[in-house]
Amino acid sequence: MLRRKQIASYIDANFGKSPLDGGMYYDATNRIKLVRAYYEMKMDDTQVDEITWEDLEMDHVFLTVNHANCFAGEQVLYDQLHRTEILGSAEQREKYERQLDAWLEHPKERLQVEEKLYEIGKFKNDYLFASLIESVDQWSVDNIWFLHLMQGLLAVCLLGTIMLKSQMCGVELMVVIAVNLMIYLRTKNRYEVFFSALGSLKKLYDFVDWITHRNMEMSVWIDQQQAKEVASQTRKLVRKIMPFGIRKQGVNNGELSAILADYLWGITLMDCAALNHMVRLIMEQKQAVYTLYKFAGQVDAQIAVASYRKSLTKWCKPEMEHGRIAARGLVHPLLSHAVGNDFVLENRAIITGANASGKSTFMKAMAINAILAQTIHTCTADEFQVGKVQVMTCMSLRDDVESGESYYFREAKYLRRILHQIKEKGKVFCVIDEIFKGTNTTERIAASKALLEYLVQTDAFVLVATHDREIVDNAFYYNYYFESEVMEHDIVFDYKIREGFGGKSNAIALLELLGYPQEIVQKAREYVI
């Protein structure tokens, strides 16, 4: 009882707080590969692509949103953040908002649900559950006929030893036992992960079944009818695996009776036969098991987003406006005490400004919030407007030593993928930082002008940052800039975006502030003139 109260107190205390401030009972940062397993299983072209995900540091964004209590919640949330079509209709968004509001307005009921989700846990092997179910047919025991043969030989040798009291039968019995034990141990080691998946299935079922027996009214934020259907579809399956799971749990806990029973089942190869039977049962109920997993994961993911909203000092529900992308008081979700900006992107814009003035951070804030608006209907701004768009970026590039690809080669490839997507789907929000900076000045300017002129002919929203004044003078692009002021001992930024072309270069001033020889600084200024 004490532990349960401690868990409840822990969950309640951490609701509405950033998971990165400590308090999470394991380090999710080290588990990203495991969390990704469900998403990687479903990868398709309807999602935020990997280049954009990495450019925008979306793993870090996920960690700030990740208030989930169990592995299924983490995996469903991670997948959800990739899928901009998940709240595509007004009805879906309205239902989602009702659910989030309900979790915030009913803290007592929410805490009860969170406690049950917490019991499901976040053990390492749990994260492989969805992948194992997807490939469950591969887990069938090989050469099942041989197992049955060895079971028959065991029975014959045992009867011969008892009834005939034959020493030879006794020797043969020991040989068969040894062979069966080897088969069992080999099988056990191979299927250890699958055994743990059966435990995950039981915990997921217990949660959904618990939901169906609640007396409180939960229809607003949980579809109890769906829960009943899912529980009904998987009840027989779970009951059949329960004895097996209980025994395995006893072995894990070091219970002598369970260990002895486990070896007895191993020697008789009953475990192997049971495993094969359970694989067949899961194959038959594969879709129902998936639904069970997703149901628990979606409930947990909803609570995580509700908690994320409460943790933010600034957030809003986006307006799904298809004609533009606009923000008021926009801040980057990963920055504390960030400067808010107002911005309207009707179609295309070029941003200039000195190094470290805030260009890249602002563009990332726009792109990230365009994703958050479509995936969790939550933006870090006072107001945010965006329609259905696919966000694609070309920003955080570097040479790839292993592949031998240069910076420019990779940049050209990444930009080509954006052009392909625009041609295929049209409505793309493309964000490009320092366009074609991986090549010489003459060709960079020429290629940049050609690309920007091409994009004018498309329906894409385009946001580009550059230091090249030669490409700014384009009648089809609105101009914006970030300002900086060089002081006696420092360079000061206000991180506010302004309309027009400006932004003082600070590159040479920075050399002077860093103590470069005055001869170098003076010559640099002369060359600029």
From the list 305, 369, 363, the residue with the least C-alpha distance to 333 is: 369
What number of CA atoms fall less than 13 Å from residue 480's CA on the CB side? 24
One domain for residues 302 and 363: no
Write down the pLDDT at residue 354: 79
Q: What is the pLDDT of residue 247?
A: 63
Domain-located, residue 159: yes
Q: Are 251 and 347 in the same domain? A: no
Regarding whether 55 and 178 lie in a shared domain, the answer is yes
Domain boundaries, position 478: 325-528
- State residue 504's pLDDT score: 61
User: Do residues 78 and 35 touch, judged by C-beta distance below 8 A?
Assistant: yes
Question: Is 319 contained in some domain?
Answer: no
* Contacts for 189 with CB less than 8 Å, ≥ 6 apart: none
369 contacts 379 by C-beta, under 8 angstroms: yes
Amino acid found at 524: A
Looking at residue 426, which CATH number applies to its domain?
3.40.50.300
Same domain, 306 and 340: no
Give the CATH number of the domain where residue 212 resides: 1.10.1420.10
286 and 354 fall within a common domain:
no
Instruction: Assess whether 468 and 377 both reside in one domain.
Output: yes
Q: The tokens of 340 are what?
A: 């808010």
Q: Same domain for 363 and 455?
A: yes
What are the two backbone dihedrals, phi and then psi, of residue 326, each rounded to the nearest 5 degrees?
-140, 150
Domain boundary among 283, 311, 339: 311
Apex 358 CA angle, 502 and 507, nearest 5: 60
Asked whether residue 316 is assigned to any structural domain, the reply reads no
| Residues facing residue 391 across a β-bridge | 429
Same domain as 331, residue 292: no
| Residue 435 CB coordination number (10 Å) | 23
Beta partners for 330?
A: 341
Q: Are strands 341-345 and 390-394 parallel, antiparallel or unpaired?
A: unpaired
User: What does each of the 529 residues of the chain score in pLDDT, given as a tens digit?
Assistant: 447 788 888 888 889 888 877 544 446 667 898 999 999 888 776 689 999 999 999 999 999 999 999 999 999 999 999 998 888 889 999 999 999 999 999 898 899 999 999 999 888 888 988 888 888 777 777 677 787 788 788 888 888 888 877 778 778 888 888 887 887 777 776 667 777 777 888 899 999 999 888 765 666 667 778 888 888 888 888 887 777 666 666 666 667 776 777 777 777 777 777 777 778 888 888 889 999 999 999 999 999 999 999 999 999 999 998 889 999 999 999 998 889 999 999 999 999 887 778 899 999 999 999 999 999 999 999 999 999 999 999 987 665 556 567 777 888 888 999 999 998 877 899 999 988 877 777 888 888 889 999 999 999 999 999 888 788 877 789 999 988 776 667 777 788 999 987 656 677 777 777 778 888 878 877 777 5
Q: Return the sign of the alpha-carbon dihedral for residues 260, 265, 269, 274.
A: negative
Q: What is the pLDDT of residue 281?
A: 83
DSSP character string of 446-470: HHHHHHHHHHHTSS-EEEEE-S-GG
Domain end call among 282, 311, 340: 311
Q: How many CB atoms lie within 10 A of CB 292?
A: 26
130 and 88: one domain?
Answer: yes
Q: What was the pLDDT predicted at 310?
A: 95
Domain end point (choices 262, 287, 311): 311
Q: Judge if 334 and 399 occupy the same domain.
A: yes
Residue type, 314: K
Tokens at residue 373, please? 């608006």
Residues 296 and 354 in one domain: no
What are the percentages of helix, strand and coil residues in the chain, rounded to 5?
60, 10, 30
Output the pLDDT for position 2.
Answer: 47
Q: Which of 35, 106, 56, 49 is nearest to 301 (CA)?
A: 35
**Residue 25 falls within a domain, yes or no?**
no
Are 382 and 283 contained in the same domain?
no
Rounded Cα distance between 190 and 192, Å, is 6
Q: What span, in angstroms and rounded, lies between the C-alpha atoms of 360 and 88? A: 28
Maximum separation of any 2 CA atoms in the chain, in Å: 109
Q: How many domains, the chain?
A: 2
Is position 447 within any domain? yes
